[in-house]
Amino acid sequence: MESEARTEQRREVLDKRLTEVALMAKKLCPEARVEVNTVRYEDEDGRVKVFPPADLPETEEEKIEEALGEKCAEILEQDGLFILCAVFDSRA
């Protein structure tokens, strides 16, 4: 079992990384609504949901999702944190 200090350190890194992903999402699409959640599901450490405006072209949504996916893969490789990130179609 992890020590309390190690758990706290991991939580600080997770919070920092979730903030990075959320800020990146806002930079890529300032009009988007971004939700961050740290409730654990299976092997996820956290998740970021991005809701771009309904008039954003699908190609732009895909670019945002790809860029955020690459960032989350980088975080997984560097820190071992599995952050799930998805862009949701606001028109649905």
Q: Is this structure's pTM higher than 0.85?
A: yes
pLDDT score, position 47: 95
Fold for the domain defined by 4-87: GMP Synthetase; Chain A, domain 3 (3.30.300)
Contact assessment for residue 45 and residue 14, using Cβ atoms and an 8 Å cutoff: yes
Question: Percent of the chain beyond pLDDT 90?
Answer: 78
Q: What are the sequence ranges of the domains in the chain?
A: 4-87
Span 61-71, average pLDDT: 96
